[in-house]
Structure 1
């Protein structure tokens, strides 16, 4: 599809359709992620307080400025496509999830809400137009999304019922169990992974609380990590790897958690 084309959430329902960050300082966030991930920025349709990050002309993520009087944590948030935001919000409430904001309507023609699952992991739902060339796991889009939670199987049931995963409906996302993870696939391609593990509830254990975690792909992990540290970011893990990838978890200067990942070179011995 051509760059900049739009489709409806009805075409990709249940799948991740966007990631966004609400930052304390929009200009500073753009400088940071521009240097670390190599993004360029353009104004968003939502107004001067929002921008769209692009890589090679393809939209990657949204960044907005938090209102000065909002005392909320800065975090990367994934959004999932839904047919009807009100219906999805009702499903979340019925299953002991939380609606923080919305659903609200936007001038772009969409409706969205900021919500949390019953374990407290924050995510968004979106009904309306989405970028047709945005992808998880392909090109310069987020490399992948990961839910770190108490029980991946129980979470998969929650999200499945809310977002119609594995519902048998034509075009729905499929769920499988692979290598101790619950894997979400759209059109056969993995788009998210759900992992069980120990979690904490205290604020000072924020890195271990149930949450959706966004992994961004970079061509050179070491250069990107160095750029992040130079611009006020900090690491929250060592550089880790497997046979195919290397990655490191960081916080940006506002404290937002994210991971940088890169493909391992064939002759890279780690």
Structure 2
């Protein structure tokens, strides 16, 4: 959720969700303990922190002066799950929420006004949480993409069914100029915006599974230069390593939120 509306220093052009509609444009973490969360992600991902305008429970993570993520220490107060949530750019928050509800999704929060925009927190038909954002972005979309997630992946019951659900809400593969492109590659549904892979959807999650890691959910993948170093830092600072391969590791922070670190592609 857009916790701080201040653009990074040096930015003069306002970029809105109309320019990248349907694409992921932000990620936000709900946590219980702000100080612990700040220390963990500073150590693991090298993030710096700024205060946010919504109050003392909110912080903005920045990398090289580019805002990359929001942290909200409201999980206990608002009875919310501790989790990373991706937000998608929409032209109209009201319309997107209505579309989601018409197709079997649910609205948990909003739409609410956070000038200069509006946000809502939703769940799809299988219970995976996601957000939508209408309004100004922090900076140009390409800068956020370079500084923050490599991509996001939806683990869901049926990838094709999910792609239809999200496509109808977010205008994927529509007739609108600039919409996201959807393809099927290597057993996954792949979402591209401006030619870049921004999301993947894979089948196989189990809605009634006792283990939340295999229930339908969106997983945020952060690009890093050293996966092994991030995994070691996570364990040292109170987190854990759920799995690790050569170029990827699934980590859990001290509050229980899971995320993935992926080797940054060479440019």
> Could you tell me the TM-score, scaled by structure 2's length?
0.91
1:105 aligns with 2:113: yes
**Counterpart check, 1:6 vs 2:10:** no
Structure 2 distance, partners of 1:89, 1:176, is 25
Q: 2:225 aligns with which of 215, 219, 223?
A: 219
Root mean square deviation, CA, Å: 2.0
Does the residue aligned with 2:57 lie in a helix, a strand or coil? Answer: strand
**Equivalent position of 1:19 in the other structure:** 27
Residue 64 of structure 1, CA deviation: 1.2
Indicate conservation of the 8 Å contact 1:137/1:143, yes or no.
Answer: no
Equivalent position of 2:165 in the other structure: 158
Q: Aligned-pair distance for 1:136?
A: 8.9
- Give the gaps of 5 or more residues in structure 1: 266-270
Whether 2:105 is the aligned partner of 1:70: answer: no
Give the secondary-structure state (helix, strand or coil) at the position aligned to 2:147. coil
- 2:75–2:82 Cα contact (<8 Å) kept: no
Q: Tell me how many residue pairs correspond in the alignment.
A: 258
Q: Work out whether residues 106 and 124 of structure 2, in 8 Å CA contact, stay in contact via their aligned partners in 1.
A: yes
Q: Does 1:240 align with 2:248?
A: no
The Cα of 1:147 is off from its aligned counterpart by 0.5
**Residues 1:138 and 1:251: Cα distance change in structure 2 (over 3 Å):** same
2:43 to 35, 40, 46: 35
Q: Provide the secondary structure at the position in 2 that maps to 1:143.
A: strand
Do 1:149 and 1:195's aligned partners in 2 also have CA atoms closer than 8 Å? yes
Structure 2: runs of 5+ lacking an equivalent: 1-7
Partner secondary structure for residue 7 of structure 1: coil
In structure 2, the CA distance between the partners of 1:103 and 1:138, relative to structure 1 (3 Å rule), is: closer
Distance in 2 (CA, whole Å) between partners of 1:255 and 1:110 is 30
TM-score norm. by structure 1 comes to 0.90
Shift of 1:51: 1.2
Query: What's the offset of the Cα at 1:185?
Result: 0.5
Question: How many angstroms apart in 2 are the aligned matches of 1:47 and 1:124?
Answer: 20
1:231/1:77 CA distance change after superposition, 3 Å: same
